[in-house]
Amino acid sequence: MFLLFLFISILSCEKEPSLQRYFVEKTESNDFISVDVSPSILNSKPELLSAEEQKALESFKKMNILAFKETDQNQVQFDAERAELNEILKDEKYQQLIKFSSGKEGAAVYFVGTEAAIEEFVLYGNKKEDGFAVVRILGENMNPEDFMVLLKAIQKSDIDMEQFKPLQEILK
């Protein structure tokens, strides 16, 4: 009896929606553009970065970007996908740092982990008539300050824009 209960518990856990599962499923869909970014894309020169920026960059492991472009033909799907993402992000493991909203568009930043040891930042933005994008920034022992420092370091880097070509195509 115990083994049966354990087996059912494992199966039910696997069916729980998660952002990672959402990314994996939607990467296969032609309706989405997916880009995986490694720290090497930044082409940053260590001598141009402060010690704080280097530390923040070292905590950054990878970034996953998933985008959906809304069209007249996929309005129903857009609404359904957006509702599914909103439901996933309601999970208590996604702690909201900040949210902006103005009716037809909005953005939010979430994190997973503790404030002293963040495993993942999630940026989610959507704009009616354009679409939405979800960005997962994965790392080790990041903190909110690292996130801001990382953004500064990215601005100083020589980003290889070739890896973002799929995103540029969908946004046209």
pLDDT of residue 123: 93
Does residue 51 lie within any of the structural domains? yes
In a domain, 123, yes or no: yes
Residue 4 resides in a domain: no
Q: What's the length of the chain?
A: 172
| Position 44 in a domain | yes
Residue 2 belongs to some domain of the structure: no
Percentage of residues in the chain with pLDDT exceeding 90?
34
Which residues contact residue 156 at a Cβ distance below 8 angstroms, ignoring those fewer than 6 apart? 44, 48, 49, 53
Q: What is the pLDDT of residue 103?
A: 76
Find all residues with CB under 8 Å of 163, minimum gap 6, and list them. Answer: 35, 37, 41
- Please list the ranges in the chain whose pLDDT falls under 50: 1-13, 170-171
pLDDT of res. 39: 74
Domain that holds residue 52: 17-170
pTM of the predicted structure, to 2 decimals: 0.78
In a domain, 128, yes or no: yes
What is the pLDDT at residue 2? 41
Residue 3 lies in a domain: no
pLDDT of res. 122: 95
Residue 169: per-residue pLDDT: 52
How many independent structural domains does the chain possess?
1
In a domain, 1, yes or no: no
